[in-house]
């Protein structure tokens, strides 16, 4: 069995480790590609795939091959694609709508639209030849997604195992914070920070509660706290925690992150998504916030504790981290909300 997963670019290694730990097999990926290739010696159920917390979508690989950079190289693959997708009628039928979604990395004369158009035409041709009827294309709300990933000289085509919606859309998100973090990135941040059962884990700017809720879903015995200075967000976070079934395992309270040390101490991990300058407005306000937040976090952490944040303000964090007493032990670029922020881990 061969699978392709889509993930947030920048956390491929985190997702690959989770996939291997949960499902076994061999994985391959390229940094910031947003894709993982997975080969197993046995079949796995969709229920097992749905337990993964770091992936967006999973696709059963139908065909993979090599492709050149020119437009005619794409057209030359028609017969190979038809042979590779000969069983596509088991997934795309005359009674289901479908769409082709293409992601392309590298330099090519053809576009993603060119690839989607060609593969879509071939899917229709195959299904019609097998069933006598054409399937219906629906680009807005398809029943089935055929995913194509082109990276340099490699091309992969798969059919969705996880439905039309990304798995980062957790069912517990009743209250949606205006600057909400994707749960898949929250999972990655907790993993990178090294959180464990029994740890004290705090998000002092929790918004709708995504990070504390993901922590509670990962760790049954951790001591988890979520604070925010906006009472409306805390009410929303409690609603989300209730929907996620972890309401009794997370404490939420109204508090100012710049005075975190006044409400809790000896913390193992502070994991948070602070405001970015591009969203926060006045640069002087963001600098003041980060200064006070890092100082309060340092005081609240135990010796060797970690502050893990995702931010576009990494240049300023470089300047103030050492002054606050931290050393930066990890950083990586990720893709989130049309931006490329960095996840940074600071150690006391």
101-110, 228-237, 249-258, 274-283: the lowest-pLDDT one: 274-283
Band of the pLDDT at 169, cuts 50, 70, 90? confident
Whats the size of the chain, residue-wise? 348
Dump pLDDT digits (tens) for 3-12: 999 999 999 9
The domains located in the chain, with CATH, are: 2-160 (3.30.2130.30), 183-347 (3.40.50.150)
Q: Which helix (H) or strand (E) holds 117?
A: helix 112-131
| CB neighbour class for 266 (10 Å; exposed up to 12, middle 13-18, buried from 19) | exposed
pLDDT for 223 beyond 90: yes
Q: What are phi and psi of 196, to 5 degrees?
A: -140, 165
C-alpha span between 299 and 100 (Å, rounded)? 52
Mean pLDDT (the chain) is: 94
Strand pairing class (267-272; 200-203) = parallel
| Local confidence band at 280 (pLDDT 50, 70, 90 cut-offs) | low
Mean pLDDT for 28-37 is 94
What is the model's pLDDT at position 277?
Answer: 59
Q: How far is CA 345 from the centre of its chain?
A: 18
Determine the average pLDDT of the residues in 224-249.
97
C-alpha 321/C-alpha 316 separation (Å) is 9
**Is residue 281 pLDDT above 70, yes or no?**
no
Q: How far apart are CA 145 and CA 48, in angstroms?
A: 20
């Amino acid at each position: 069995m061969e699978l392709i997963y889509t993930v947030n670019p920048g956390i491929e290694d985190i997702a690959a480790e989770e996939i291997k730990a949960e499902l076994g097999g061999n994985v391959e990926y390229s940094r910031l590609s947003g894709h993982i290739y997975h080969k197993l010696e046995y079949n796995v159920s969709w229920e097992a795939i749905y337990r993964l917390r770091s992936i967006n979508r999973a696709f059963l690989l139908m065909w993979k091959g090599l492709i050149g950079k020119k437009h005619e190289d794409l057209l030359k693959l028609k017969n190979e694609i038809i042979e590779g997708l000969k069983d596509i009628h088991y997934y795309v039928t005359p009674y289901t709508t479908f769409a082709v979604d293409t992601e392309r990395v590298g330099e090519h004369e053809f576009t993603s639209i060119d690839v989607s158009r060609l593969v879509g035409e071939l899917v229709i041709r195959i299904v019609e030849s097998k069933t006598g009827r054409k399937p219906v294309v629906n680009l807005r709300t398809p029943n089935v997604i055929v995913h194509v990933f082109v990276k340099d000289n490699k091309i992969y085509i798969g059919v969705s195992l996880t439905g039309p919606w990304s798995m980062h859309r957790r069912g517990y998100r009743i209250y949606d914070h205006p600057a909400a973090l994707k749960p898949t990135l929250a999972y990655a941040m907790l993993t990178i920070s090294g959180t464990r059962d029994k740890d004290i884990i705090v998000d002092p700017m929790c918004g709708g509660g995504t990070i504390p809720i993901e922590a509670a879903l990962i760790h049954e015995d951790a001591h988890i706290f979520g604070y925010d200075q906006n009472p409306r967000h805390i009410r929303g976070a409690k609603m989300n925690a209730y929907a996620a079934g972890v309401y009794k395992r997370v404490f939420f309270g109204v508090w100012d992150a710049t005075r975190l040390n006044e409400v809790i101490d000896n913390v193992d991990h502070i994991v948070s998504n602070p405001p970015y300058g591009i969203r926060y407005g006045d640069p002087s306000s963001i600098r003041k916030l980060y200064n006070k937040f890092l100082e309060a976090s340092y005081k609240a952490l135990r010796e060797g504790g970690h502050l893990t944040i995702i931010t576009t303000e990494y240049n300023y964090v470089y300047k103030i981290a050492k002054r606050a007493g931290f050393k930066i032990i990890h950083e990586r670029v990720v893709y989130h909300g049309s931006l490329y922020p960095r996840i940074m881990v600071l150690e006391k």
